[in-house]
Amino acid sequence: MSEKKQIYKPKHISGFPEWLPETRMVEQQWFDHIRKVFESYGFCNIETPSVEEIDVVTAKGEVDKEIYVLERLQADPDEDKEARLALHFDQTVPLARYVAQHFNELTFPFKRYQMQRVWRGDRPQAGRFREFYQADIDVIGVDGLPLHFDAEMPAVMWEILSSLPGMENENIQMRISNRKILMGLLDECDLDYDKHPDVLRTVDKIEKIGESAVREILSDELDMSGVDIDSILSLVSCKASPNEINSVISQHIVGLNNSLLQEGIDELLFVMNQLSHLPEGAVVADLSIVRGLDYYTGTVYETVFVDDPGYGSICSGGRYDDLASNYIAKHLPGVGISIGFSRLFSRLEAQGKLPVGPKSPADIMMVLPNEEQRALAAETARTLRERGFNVEMYHAPQKLKKQLAYAEKKGIPYVWFPPFDAEGEHEVKCMKTHEQAEANPQKWTPDEQ
Amino acid sequence: MSEKKQIYKPKHISGFPEWLPETRMVEQQWFDHIRKVFESYGFCNIETPSVEEIDVVTAKGEVDKEIYVLERLQADPDEDKEARLALHFDQTVPLARYVAQHFNELTFPFKRYQMQRVWRGDRPQAGRFREFYQADIDVIGVDGLPLHFDAEMPAVMWEILSSLPGMENENIQMRISNRKILMGLLDECDLDYDKHPDVLRTVDKIEKIGESAVREILSDELDMSGVDIDSILSLVSCKASPNEINSVISQHIVGLNNSLLQEGIDELLFVMNQLSHLPEGAVVADLSIVRGLDYYTGTVYETVFVDDPGYGSICSGGRYDDLASNYIAKHLPGVGISIGFSRLFSRLEAQGKLPVGPKSPADIMMVLPNEEQRALAAETARTLRERGFNVEMYHAPQKLKKQLAYAEKKGIPYVWFPPFDAEGEHEVKCMKTHEQAEANPQKWTPDEQ
């Protein structure tokens, strides 16, 4: 090595999270936990490529600004042009393409989960991720999809969110509504149909900007009458537990007779009814939830920290009418919900709430007493591995003190001493209690100590 | 939906593999298996972002042509310029940056595994992946790294490769050498030092192009004498099992007295000696293995299908002298080995050798007999989930025949019938044996039937 070598000091790239091994281990536990619950409800996994053709990614036209496109560093200008490739910014667009492409090989209703990275080509700025994980479930039907699935989504997500390592003491709440209710009410208002999306987007902001600001926009910008605004704001103020929701809504729709509104109420009641087994406060019907995105057509979900609702939703989704009409001449209604995995994980990490443990997955460190006992130490390690333990063999016959310090530093809970000579016995030391005792590699369990 | 809507038929993007759910399930089993074995040897996991700054990715200057760079679709030309970002093409470059960046927070020797996608910006062409998984382990030391780890790498990988689902009957062999042996021999040849890498790269091709072609290049292009060529080709013809290697090599180095060569032989003997517990034929010392890459300095590994050596190596690596000298003024020797995961998985998939099973992870499908029994069916499903079973609840009270057909199609092995009325009993049907029997949700196990 030249002494004068230029050293390039590596630095963190803003928006691309990266963890130390001990934190990554908790992140793996999160993925394992989420996968286990998803699969326990029969969701299968798929993974799609990181890229789609650019026409697929931009088909909905909303998010052009945030898309990363791939360029080959030294592309040959003479070579055949193929479609440009872009990194996907969510998992719904790739799902639509996947379902259309593999339609004949899938079984419907198609229940799938997906836990992949997605990318947003944002400018680097504090708190905005440019690469992050999402954990999604969706169910896709052909021509129809039973409401059963609308009720299953929050049950799955509640089970996950309430027991993720580090989340056990967080006070979270899932808030559910059905857009048909508000859309039905809007039908009864004196308002052009093409303004309905604007009203929904405005009402969606109520928690952020407050009721009076919403009232002002509906009145000044959308020209709604005071009576119509009152009835909307009255309806969206409805919040109730699964058991109360029926009577609460009834009070607010006296005199209204709109079939879409009634359909929405019936659907919401069905969903809430299926969730009555959850702990009190876990889910509420909350008619202020509309979700800004245009494509939701029925049930909608949000999930908040009750003590910090301004943080925004950590798990959201809803029912949509047609997943993949761009790609296939089939009517494919669906319902889906997504955990903003990296955003949630990073929050808990920053708050010091993750149960961050050892730097190593090893249960046992095998001492290497001396060169003569190397084969025996290796064989003992193999025996213990076969029995299901994670065993790191120490790498050189160094002083015992040094070997023990290494186990300590990596947080390995047990240290195994193979016999130091032909006369000796195996012993195990518990690094927590400092107790040390004879042990048999074929039989030892951590409970012994 | 408009009837005249333009339908864009989605197609596969060449080089970006994607699987159906039933194949993806096997891929997950592969990842689980690899992770389990890596962790059983005490390797911790890290994940790095998909991107690095372009200076980091291109630091070694070799692979410019294959790098994908990110561009924001609608970047604002006035905004602050930040460093360009590129997708990583391997996991070693990110590891070097990671170790340098987090040096003070890691414990050394640092044993890490990494299983991520990497990207190569190749032209689309048959059989070349542009996005694929690698499964790597590396151990990084500070100022030195015991040979123990050189011996641990092939033990770990043999354990994995010989028991991946679908690989059990494949005849594979790990081939190990030490570059110091050949480098020591070259010191004794009449040859400029700066031609050594060319000789190594030429010898590396011996399995592909044959001995006589290698001889021609060494003679015609590198001006080596017949005597020198003979001694090189004699040495690289050495192949032996762990127990025979000592005597085999001795015969080929009679009269040579070079300290680097002797060091290489001693290291190789140590490594082979640690692997003598593996089945016969699992590993061989093979001095024709040199690996083309310049940065290997000692032990080198390749793994081949014995019946199809021309397919190339499925698991390779070696010892290197300094991981991260571009980024940090520390001497960080390492040893690593990598499975070309996607390439191997795709091969077995194409050969129909993967144990592809059901389309669903569910163990049990819960029949929904009628609307009245919905709550009981849901509760039964929850009980079984709490007991560790994956249970998909059927989504609508449709005809039994239809519900059973769905379970059949998804490959769900058991169908659970909750009582159809207040008098009834729970029953379970095994879809394989068609046996049906009463069952208690609190106690039932698949073994009962």
Residue A150: which of A352, A286, A278, A297 has the closest Cα? A297
Given a cut of 60, is residue B264 above it in pLDDT?
A: yes
Mean pLDDT of the region B439-448:
90
Given a cut of 70, is residue A449 above it in pLDDT?
A: no
DSSP letter for B134, please: E
DSSP letter for A380, please: H
From A253-257, A419-423, B216-220, B223-227, the region with the lowest mean pLDDT: A253-257
Q: From residue A337, how far is each of A441, B106, B321 by CA, in Å?
A: 47, 37, 49
Distance CA A286, CA A309 (A): 14
* Chain pair A-B, CB pairs under 8 angstroms: 281
Q: For position B1, what pLDDT does the model report?
A: 42
Beta bridge partners of A417: A427
Mean pLDDT of the region A399-405:
97
Q: What is the percent of chain B where pLDDT is above 90? A: 75
Min Cα separation B129/chain A (Å)? 11
Strand, helix or coil for residue A62: coil
Min Cα separation B254/chain A (Å)? 29
Residue found under tokens 């580090």:
A166
Tokens of A68: 């990363």
pLDDT confidence of B387, banded at 50, 70, 90? very high
Mean pLDDT of the region A129-134:
96
pLDDT confidence of A338, banded at 50, 70, 90? very high
Helix (H) or strand (E) holding B127: none
All residues of chain B having their beta carbon less than 8 Å from the beta carbon of residue A382 are 277
pLDDT tens, residue by residue, B332-376: 999 999 999 999 999 999 999 999 999 999 999 999 999 999 999
Q: Which of B46, B117, B121 is opposite residue A21, by nearest beta carbon?
A: B46
Residue A85: which of B392, B130, B426 has the closest Cα? B130
Helix (H) or strand (E) holding B21: helix B21-40
Q: At what angle do helices A341-350 and A21-40 cross, to 10 degrees?
A: 140
Min Cα separation A224/chain B (Å)? 30
pTM score: 0.95
Enumerate residues 6+ apart whose C-beta is below 8 A from A76.
Answer: none
> Which residue, among B11, B25, B39, B149, would best test binding to A if mutated, counting the most A CBs under 10 Å from its CB?
B39
Residue A58: which of A20, A79, A85 has the closest Cα? A85
Whether residue B394 contacts residue A107, with contact meaning beta carbons closer than 8 Å, is answered with: no
Distance CA A398, CA A222 (A): 78
Distance CA A434, CA A448 (A): 14
Q: Could B44 and A359 be called an inter-chain contact, meaning their C-beta atoms sit closer than 8 Å?
A: yes
Q: For position A60, what pLDDT does the model report?
A: 67
All residues of chain A having their beta carbon less than 8 Å from the beta carbon of residue B149 are 395
More confident residue, A255 or B32: B32
Mean pLDDT of the region B180-191:
92
Residue B169: which of B27, B307, B322 has the closest Cα? B307
Given a cut of 60, is residue B69 above it in pLDDT?
A: yes
pLDDT confidence of B64, banded at 50, 70, 90? low
Q: Which of A45, A361, A390 is opposite residue B21, by nearest beta carbon?
A: A45
Q: Which of A1, A149, A368 is opposite residue B395, by nearest beta carbon?
A: A149
Average pLDDT of chain B is 92
Given a cut of 90, is residue A353 above it in pLDDT?
A: yes
pLDDT confidence of B122, banded at 50, 70, 90? confident
Mean pLDDT of the region B376-393:
98
Mean pLDDT of the region A318-342:
94
From A24-33, A75-84, A196-205, the region with the lowest mean pLDDT: A75-84
- Cis peptide upstream of residue A361 (ω within 30 degrees of 0): no
Q: Could A7 and B327 be called an inter-chain contact, meaning their C-beta atoms sit closer than 8 Å?
A: yes
Q: For position A1, what pLDDT does the model report?
A: 42
Of A126-135, A399-408, A419-428, B294-303, the range with the highest mean pLDDT is: A399-408
SS3 content of chain A, % helix, strand, coil (to 5): 35, 20, 45
Given a cut of 90, is residue B281 above it in pLDDT?
A: yes
Mean pLDDT of the region B115-119:
97
All residues of chain A having their beta carbon less than 8 Å from the beta carbon of residue B68 are 70-73
Q: Could A10 and B101 be called an inter-chain contact, meaning their C-beta atoms sit closer than 8 Å?
A: yes
Q: For position A442, what pLDDT does the model report?
A: 97
> Which residue, among B9, B13, B356, would best test binding to A if mutated, counting the most A CBs under 10 Å from its CB?
B13
Q: Which of A107, A119, A148 is opposite residue B396, by nearest beta carbon?
A: A148
Distance CA B265, CA B270 (A): 9
Mean pLDDT of the region B109-132:
88
> Which residue, among B22, B39, B40, B364, would best test binding to A if mutated, counting the most A CBs under 10 Å from its CB?
B40
pLDDT tens, residue by residue, B186-218: 999 988 988 888 998 899 888 889 999 999 999
Q: For position A125, what pLDDT does the model report?
A: 64
pLDDT confidence of B127, banded at 50, 70, 90? low
Q: Could A56 and B8 be called an inter-chain contact, meaning their C-beta atoms sit closer than 8 Å?
A: yes
Min Cα separation A165/chain B (Å)? 18
From A77-91, B250-264, B387-401, the region with the lowest mean pLDDT: A77-91
Given a cut of 90, is residue B430 above it in pLDDT?
A: yes
| B247 alpha carbon, distance to own chain's centre | 34
DSSP letter for B296, please: E
List, as one string, the DSSP characters of B379-444: HHHHHHHHTT--EEEPSS---HHHHHHHHHHHT-SEEEE--SSTT---EEEETTT--EEE--TTT-
pLDDT confidence of A309, banded at 50, 70, 90? confident
Q: From residue B98, how far is each of A11, A126, A259, B288, B340 by CA, in Å?
A: 9, 21, 59, 33, 22
pLDDT confidence of B3, banded at 50, 70, 90? very low
Closest-approach residue (CA) in chain B for A12: B101
Pairing label, strands A296-305, A315-320: antiparallel
Mean pLDDT of the region A162-179:
96
Given a cut of 80, is residue B227 above it in pLDDT?
A: yes
Handedness of CA A217, A223, A228, A230 (dihedral sign): positive
Q: For position A128, what pLDDT does the model report?
A: 84
Q: Could B70 and A68 be called an inter-chain contact, meaning their C-beta atoms sit closer than 8 Å?
A: yes
Closest-approach residue (CA) in chain A for B5: A326
Mean pLDDT of the region B103-116:
98
Q: Could A391 and B121 be called an inter-chain contact, meaning their C-beta atoms sit closer than 8 Å?
A: no
Q: Which of A102, A149, A360 is opposite residue B42, by nearest beta carbon?
A: A360
Interface pTM, i.e. ipTM:
0.95
